[in-house]
Amino acid sequence: MGSIVLARIDDRLIHGQVMTAWLQYTGGNHIVIVDEPTAADEFTKSIISMAVPSGIDLTIAGVEEGTEVLKNLPANDRVIILTKGPETYLQLIENGVPLEKIIIGGMGANKNRSKFYKNISASEEEKEIFRKIIEHGCELEVHIIPDEKAVSVKGIL
């Protein structure tokens, strides 16, 4: 079975930081984006696929299909999972996807969110989801780029 080398929350999904720093750091060869609206939008999927370097596989799926993909990874896959928010990871965990650690890399400000840690924002509902993820035995950290130190979310909550 393949391995999950990175599970990252980033509301931007694919961008330069993921494509350069995290791909190199993890040795990932397959990116799995789990996000219902993105999976349903052919235009967005085509734009994202153009941003992925050649030689890197890409799967864009909703939660149910994403669960099946992640439970049945080919042996040589080194997977980077990307979602826009923590609720998707909670659903994946509850669907039986084995996740040991999730990092928060980008959660921007909006009308429902307030500052959580440095440039990371979270709503009260998202903070509650963080707690539930941690209760499932999954480590949750803020870790923007590989060269920076990770900070445990448990200590921030």
pLDDT digits (tens, 9 = 90+) for 15-57: 887 778 899 999 999 999 999 999 999 999 999 999 999 999 9
Q: Is the dihedral of CA 50, 52, 58, 60 positive or negative?
A: negative
Domain hosting residue 12, numbered range: 3-156
- Give the pLDDT band of residue 14 (cuts 50, 70, 90): confident
State the pLDDT at residue 8: 97
**Domain containing 141 — which CATH number?**
3.40.35.10
State the pLDDT at residue 19: 75
Quick one: what percent of the chain has pLDDT higher than 70?
99
Contact at 8 Å (CB) between 95 and 82?
Answer: no
Contact at 8 Å (CB) between 30 and 52?
Answer: no
Residue 138: both structure tokens together: 């999954």
Token pair 């079975």 is at which residue? Answer: 1
Q: Is the dihedral of CA 127, 124, 149, 53 positive or negative?
A: positive
19: number of Cβ within 10 Å: 15
Token pair 């791909």 is at which residue? Answer: 23
State the pLDDT at residue 15: 84
pTM value surpassing 0.85: yes
pLDDT digits (tens, 9 = 90+) for 76-134: 999 999 999 999 999 999 999 999 999 999 999 999 999 999 999 999 999 999 999 99
How many structural domains compose the chain?
1
